[in-house]
């Protein structure tokens, strides 16, 4: 539906309905306040100031609904609003009407948040007014609706998730970087084909010919009978950075190496100074809870990769270790081939220490492969047992492969719990 927001909002002072009172919803509320326009927040959770139910009667009271990415397109509230003739927009689509500047979109299954932050930093170093926004916790609405500086051309490096991508109609991109495509979010998307189609919608929103895609994206497009545009730059996956990378750089290990290669090709095509990108990459720190070494204890190295919330991220993390690995994993299963993942992991790790909702099923798959696996009621117990069993030269890798929401608030909370437990173990070792 092609709508003109200014026309809708200028004909009425009825409040805009916002679905979701979290980060995205609050950003929309703040934008509407800058526009001096009323709003009402609806949220299924008990949040102060938010209504807990959106009824048929409510739908008659609003000229527009703006929804957060947690609301699927077939959510009952959205369908209720549409049946009442109320236009519904996702947060990025709403913000697009009020942002004046360039937009470079970044999507992918793994590594997109780091890439968004990195590109924003690199553009800043060459003098651009660049901002990392989108699904990274800083919605585009935070940047929209502000009086532009006549001397600046603002640039939004915008992380777009599949949840946001599937319904986009109004947000246009001047460039699109699609890092990779792996199994994920099958609790929201009924199949890999539908998950890929959600991401594919971003190509429809691209203005121009700046499209960069990882090798796995190209393979997936062929599998699902879709053809990438002829101008697409396909970037092969690689475990070797394009130039030597110091320890501590986000691009020294893991899937970020391929993402750096993708950024490098994009940077080259734009004709931007390579020296600036190299310098930024070398000094760009690894993100918290993304394959960070916490410490060594008695010759055993302990690594925190709590941000690995899907199979591909965990499998990529495992490639960085040559010696025996004691894997701590498990969590809430958001869909995907559990047996295939467990079989692969069983063949690559010394033993598994499992937590969360998936622990019993994972343990059973490991045992079918005659591979050691134990189930624990909490992360602290799993870490303690892995430390007891590991020998000098071994690695303990906490790379869950699943969502944190069964036991923790988020991956950050989960990662902090792991680090606290590990540092406690080290303190006890030093004191003993």
Q: Which CATH topology does 5-93 take?
A: Rossmann fold (3.40.50)
Give me the residues paired with residue 397 across strands: 303, 327
* Domain range list for the chain: 5-93, 99-283, 292-431
pLDDT value, residue 11? 62
Report the relative pairing of strands 300-304 and 88-90 from DSSP bridges. Answer: unpaired
Backbone angles phi, psi at 369, to 5 degrees: -95, 10
Helices (H) and strands (E) in the chain, counts: 16, 16
pLDDT value, residue 8? 62
CA 393 to chain centre: 32
Give me the residues paired with residue 155 across strands: 102, 130
Work out the number of other CB atoms within 10 angstroms of the CB of residue 135: 25
Strand order in the sheet with 351-354: 292-297, 300-304, 395-398, 325-329, 351-354, 373-375
Report the relative pairing of strands 373-375 and 395-398 from DSSP bridges. Answer: unpaired
pTM check: above 0.85? no
Domain covering 99-283 in this structure, CATH number? 3.40.1190.10
CA 390 to chain centre: 32
First to last CA, the chain: 68
Residue-level pLDDT, tens digit, the chain, 432 residues: 345 666 666 666 889 999 999 999 999 999 999 989 999 999 988 777 777 789 998 888 999 999 999 899 999 999 999 999 999 999 999 999 999 899 999 999 888 889 999 999 999 999 999 999 998 889 999 999 877 676 678 999 999 998 899 999 999 999 999 999 877 665 666 688 888 999 999 999 999 899 999 999 999 999 999 999 999 999 998 878 888 888 888 888 767 888 999 999 999 999 999 999 999 999 998 888 888 899 999 999 999 999 898 898 898 889 889 899 999 999 998 777 899 999 999 999 999 999 999 999 999 999 999 999 999 999 999 999 999 999 999 999 999 999 988 899 899 999 999 999 999 999 988 876
Structure tokens at 160: 């777009």
Structure tokens at 329: 């994993």
Those residues with Cβ within 8 angstroms of residue 52's Cβ, 6 or more apart along the chain or in another chain: 42, 43, 44, 45, 46
Q: Which CATH topology does 292-431 take?
A: 3.90.190
pLDDT value, residue 431? 76
Integer Cα distance of 5 and 174 in angstroms: 22
Q: Find the radius of gyration of the CA atoms of the chain.
A: 23
Backbone angles phi, psi at 358, to 5 degrees: -85, -5
């Amino acid at each position: 539906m092609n709508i003109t927001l200014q026309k809708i909002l200028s004909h009425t002072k009825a409040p805009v309905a916002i679905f979701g009172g979290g980060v995205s919803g609050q950003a929309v509320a703040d934008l509407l306040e800058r526009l001096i326009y009323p709003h009402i927040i609806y949220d299924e959770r008990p949040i102060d100031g938010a209504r807990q139910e959106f009824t048929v009667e409510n739908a008659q009271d609003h000229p527009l609904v703006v929804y957060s990415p947690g609301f699927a397109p077939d959510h009952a509230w959205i369908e209720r609003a549409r049946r009442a003739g109320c236009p519904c927009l996702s947060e990025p689509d709403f913000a697009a009407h009020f942002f004046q500047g360039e937009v470079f979109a970044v999507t992918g299954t793994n590594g997109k948040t780091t890439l968004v932050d990195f590109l924003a930093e690199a553009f800043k170093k060459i003098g651009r007014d660049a901002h990392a926004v989108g699904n990274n916790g800083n919605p585009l609405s935070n940047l929209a609706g502000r009086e532009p500086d006549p001397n600046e051309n603002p640039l939004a490096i915008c992380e777009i998730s599949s949840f946001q991508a599937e319904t986009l109609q109004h947000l246009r991109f001047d460039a699109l970087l699609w890092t990779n495509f792996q199994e994920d979010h099958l609790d929201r998307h009924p199949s890999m084909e539908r998950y890929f189609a959600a991401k594919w919608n971003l190509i429809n929103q691209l203005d121009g010919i700046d499209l960069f895609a990882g090798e796995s994206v190209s393979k997936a497009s062929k599998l699902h009978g879709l053809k990438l545009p002829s101008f697409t730059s396909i970037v092969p996956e690689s475990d070797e950075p394009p130039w030597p990378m110091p320890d501590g750089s986000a691009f020294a290990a893991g899937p970020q190496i391929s993402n750096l290669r993708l950024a490098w090709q994009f940077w080259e095509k734009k004709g931007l100074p390579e020296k600036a990108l190299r310098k930024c990459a070398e000094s760009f720190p690894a993100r918290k809870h993304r394959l960070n070494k916490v410490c060594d204890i008695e010759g055993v190295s302990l690594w925190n990769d709590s941000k690995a919330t899907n199979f591909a991220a965990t499998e990529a993390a495992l490639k960085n270790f040559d010696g025996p690995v004691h894997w701590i994993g498990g969590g809430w299963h958001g869909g995907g081939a559990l047996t295939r993942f467990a079989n692969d992991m069983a063949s690559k790790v010394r033993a598994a220490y499992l937590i969360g909702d998936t622990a019993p099923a994972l343990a059973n798959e490991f045992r079918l492969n005659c591979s050691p696996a134990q189930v624990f009621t909490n992360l602290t117990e799993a870490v303690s047992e892995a430390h007891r069993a590991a020998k000098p030269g071994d690695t303990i890798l906490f790379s869950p492969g699943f969502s944190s929401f069964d036991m923790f608030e988020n991956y950050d909370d989960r990662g902090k719990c792991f680090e606290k437990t590990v540092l406690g173990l080290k303190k006890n070792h030093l004191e003993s």
